[in-house]
Chains A and B, each alone.
Chain A
Amino acid sequence: MIGEEIPATTRAFRVAYTIVLNVALWIAVPLIISREFASVLQGVPLSNPEFIYAFGGAITGLHVLGALTEGKALSAVFNSGSYVAGAYYVWVAGGGGAVSFDVSASGVTIPTAMAFKTGLFLLVLPLLVGAIRAPLKFLLDESEAGRPARDMP
């Protein structure tokens, strides 16, 4: 909250929680997917562990910085940036919703193309909303920082 001092222990707990959640979401899960579906993901950035570590690390870093600077203007920048990076990561990792791969069955290679743009867009949309929400929430909270709440019944 704007204008409120967050206790150090609360902040530390939030940072730890953010690290665990983001490492699991942006690094561990994509690594498992890339390993389990290696044959399907040929030529897609998700098959490249370096891509996962680089983007996963960057998104986690931005989220951590956002948690560390919570209540300050920088927090909105870091949080918004992390959502934008997350949306870009999901879109690029999914090959933009079009993946081509070869399936081998009984000695025959079958060229296969998969398209899932709508599905991928559904994954990206909440992240884009988050990217818009983070700065707007900060600006709205800041503009109302001095206004007292109505008495709750």
Chain B
Amino acid sequence: MKREPSMVGRSLWAASVVITVVALVAFSTLAYSVYADVGSVGRSLSSSSSPSGYTTSVAVNGTSETEYVNATIPNAGLYPLVVGLSCLPSNGSVRVTCSNVKVTIPPGGEQTMHFAMVFQNISFTSTNTVSVKGNVSLALVPFASVSMVVPIISASERAG
């Protein structure tokens, strides 16, 4: 005897179809966003690209030096991109402190990230050693995020 499925049965079936379709759409758009963002952010921050996506300037004041980096980061993906940069405590004779920056770039837009690093206790008579690592974080809101601890500067330089 032929029976028709119940309303609840049909609703459950429709719910699983909708969830599966949403998951598929989310993953395909996420994959495209990762691909597009890696390319656009890489091109923007590459020193070989012209014009370069970042500018630097240095201000010296006594035994301290401040380096400013302004980077314009585009978001070619389909989800908001959150970029963060901060420094870990430095090692060496030179003390380094950084500004913690975090920008949210809307899809299709771009944002300029203002980053400053202050180098203190620079010696003009002895060897300066500096080693600082930064925490770089990238997030495609709301799906995924990556954070990396990368060496920003590791150098030893004799004064004079």
Q: Tell me the A residues contacting B by CB distance below 8 Å.
A: 1, 3, 103, 108, 110-116, 118-119, 122-123, 125-126, 129-130, 132-133, 136-137, 140-141, 144-145, 147-150
Return the contact of B3 from the options A125, A126, A129, A145 (Cβ within 8 A).
A145
If A141-B9, A144-B3, A149-B2 touch, does A114 touch B27 (CB 8 Å cutoff)?
no
B159 CB, nearest partner CB in chain A, Å: 27
| Residue pair A118, B142 in contact (C-beta under 8 Å) | yes
Which residues of A lie under 8 Å from residue B142 when comparing CB positions?
118
* Contact digits for B11-51, partner A, Cβ 8 Å, 1 yes 0 no: 01101100110110011001000000000000000000000
**Among candidates A110, A111, A126, residue contacting B16 with C-beta atoms closer than 8 Å:** A126
Q: Provide the residues of chain B in CB contact with A126, threshold 8 Å.
A: 16, 19-20, 23
> How far apart are the CA atoms of A115 and B145 in the complex, in Å?
5
Q: Is the interface of A mostly helix, strand, loop or mixed?
A: mixed
Determine whether the beta carbon of B16 is less than 8 Å from that of A129: yes
Cα of A126 to Cα of B22 in the assembled complex, Å: 10
Most chain-A Cβ atoms within 10 A of its Cβ — which of B15, B26, B142, B145? B145
Additional A-B contact list (13), CB under 8 Å, known A114-B146, A147-B3: A1-B3, A103-B148, A110-B149, A110-B150, A114-B144, A126-B19, A129-B15, A133-B12, A136-B8, A140-B8, A141-B6, A149-B3, A149-B4
Min CB gap B120→A, angstroms: 25
**In the assembled complex, B143 has its CB within 8 A of some CB on chain A:** yes
Residues of chain B within 8 A of A116, CB atoms compared: 143-145
Q: Does B59 contact A (CB under 8 A)?
A: no
Q: A3 — which chain B residues lie within 8 A by C-beta? A: 1
In the complex, B92 has a CB within 8 A of chain A = no
Closest to B21 in A: A126
Is B111 an interface residue, CB under 8 A from the partner? Answer: no
Q: Are B149 and A140 within 8 A (Cβ)?
A: no
